[in-house]
Structure 1
Amino acid sequence: MSPALPDGDAAPDDGALPDSVRAGAGDRGFGVYLHVPFCTVRCGYCDFNTYTATELGGGASQVAYADTALAEIALGGRVLRDAGLPARPASTVFVGGGTPTVLPPSDLVRMLGGVRDAWGLTADAEVTTEANPDSVTPESLAELARGGFTRVSFGMQSAVPHVLATLDRTHDPRRIPDVVRWARDAGLAVSLDLIYGTPGESLDDWRASLETALATGVDHVSAYALVVEQGTRMAVQVKRGLLTLPDEDDQAAKYELADDLLTEAGLHWYEVSNWARTPEQACRHNLAYWRGDDWWGVGPGAHSHVGGVRWWNVKHPRTYAARLAEGLSPAAGRETVAGDAARLEQVMLGVRLDEGLPLAALDPAARTAVAGLVADGLVDPRAALGSDAPARVRLTRRGRLLADTVVRTLTA
């Protein structure tokens, strides 16, 4: 079961935004997230807002989904224009899910066309879709590239069959080199997503997954620690003693191994869980989230952020489609992020980046606390002293492992 939507204020039926969103808009980038809430199989660890065909039943057809999403995209174009925001073409588009590539490539291309019509695209726009390795073909990837996609992020997760089985992943790990080659042949940049800390995964299993990913010559890798969320099938298995989660030392060892192998292969960390071969190959869409830019989130359960106003859509695809069919915004609620909440977000997201968080962004008490974080080996002393650039909080590798501790210290 996917998590509940946050509490917040009622969102207007027309989606109108307050005048405050115009302040500083010209200095913020703009991106679009397109949520595709469909999967062929629900993985036991997943708590995303996704549905299989049997879970949805009637009234939320995959066949009609692109048209429904296009209705929200058109609404978004009107809302931002009516708010008096400057014209800002989207510099990034990210299609996530779910498994976006369960839809025909033509539907994904049509949705991208809707973004182009509503807001425009910059000449160098980064356009990414997530995909499962068993949901693409050479032909489908080539069609996406012809339609304007520039990047694909494959959910590899592991190269070890018993680990994939525990995660309920259905793809054959031997397919990974093939899909990477197909994507590159189509002219797409490629990222591989990995998960470590699955119950029963050894350090050697994790090493095998990393080595398999690197053997493809991929230029971007995301590696996330498994988090078992309440309400998932895996959480029930853990509670019943059917699966045993690894301890913190195991997770730390696997993160350090990932950092060692990826760095040796020429990939550099730019965010705690993300490595790229060059700065240009980092995921610009995710960087926009971490830097506080604006984005419109399309789809059931999708979140948006414009000028400090954040809102979220109704979760169920049937309700989402029904509201749009009535000419209403699908937003379920919204909030304005300001004051202490805005400061907490800036610290929480900024310290996760290799570029670090400027000390000037911290209040005096937090700046004083940085010395203790340096002494504890969590913050790079040269960066904190401003030896190479304006002083900033930049995590050491130990600090990356204890990033939550750093955030708590700086926001106490």
Structure 2
Amino acid sequence: MLIAQLPTDEELRLQDLFSYDILDSESEKEFNDLVELAGQICHCPMSMITFIERDRQWFKARLDPGPRETTRDEAFCAHAILQSDVMIVEDARLDERFHDNPNTLDPTSPVRFYAGAPIVSPTGYNLGTLCVIHNEPRKLTVEQERALEILSAQITRLLELRAKNKRIRNRAEQIIDLKDKTVNAVLADQDQQQQQIAEQLHEQIAQEAAACKLFIRMAEDSEEQRSDYLHTANTYLEQIINDLRKLSNKINPSVLLSIPVEDLLIDHVRKLNEEVSFELKLKVTGSSVALPVEKTVMLFRIFEKWVQVLKKRSAVQQVNIHLVLTDRIELAVEDDGEKKDFSVAEKEIVAAGIDARVRKAGGTIKLVTGISNGNILSIEIPV
């Protein structure tokens, strides 16, 4: 048995092969179909797509049942990748390279006929072959040989498409991850800014408020200077209002302005599904809308708080969220958990701060409990 020589550019060829991440991948219909077609065209019971690695021959697809890999030393395809055209062995017993090959001498399914068309990458490296095998000596017609070449070229296109799709998926995952991190960072930054504002309010505005109260008391005690004291108190009051406006304007998460509210919830639902024991399903209908920042954050917080409430309930297996976007936002969250007493559920809403947030946004809230398949929380907020 003659062992095939290594291509002169073997290391570069292997790098090209590894770049497709095809080795040890799962079965794929597109490759299986090409193998089946090759077998039918060439009237061979065995047909395979093989890739030649450093020490093994690995089968991406094969028409007959058999192992997923063999040693490279015994592989006919290791010889086929050394040439640019279809390698044809009409009778392996008469070929000095294969007459004593274990595949030729196999008593149950001996290889007699072999034809392999190299799978050539766009950079010119022979990565493997599309081959057909028969246990009797045969010949190929010119048309059959050409068909193998066409099909092997199609395999190259599949490899390229597969690699491109993987790059797109990876890029999409990176973008989604970046959006998650951006949104979370913005929300965290807003929380931090709100904390800073609270501290400034406590130190700065509280002093102005105390001064305002002092002058009001002085006005009560002094009829003669009452007008002056009230004027001074009013000046402090105006300063308090201006400071509040100035500090509020510091909250400006501009990134959220460019993210439609439905995208925010879609990303958040995807993330929460990895954390909760029940399944969250989101349905969005209507046109895309970008809410004012404060309403976007408020809606996000309401949804987050209600999910936290549902996590504490028993028997919740699925939560359906329906977001309707028109001239107002309608959010319905339906769970299939235990039927809650209305007063208990109402207390949960108040305790989670949901009721206060909705009212502050000029919205309405409705709770339906004890229905046949669980409970529904409905919220409407004007855009």
TM-score > 0.5, shorter chain as reference: no
Q: Which has the higher helix share?
A: 2
Give the TM-score normalised by the residue count of structure 2: 0.22
Greater relative contact order (Cα < 8 A, sep 6+): 1
Give the TM-score normalised by the residue count of structure 1: 0.21
Bigger Rg, which one: 2
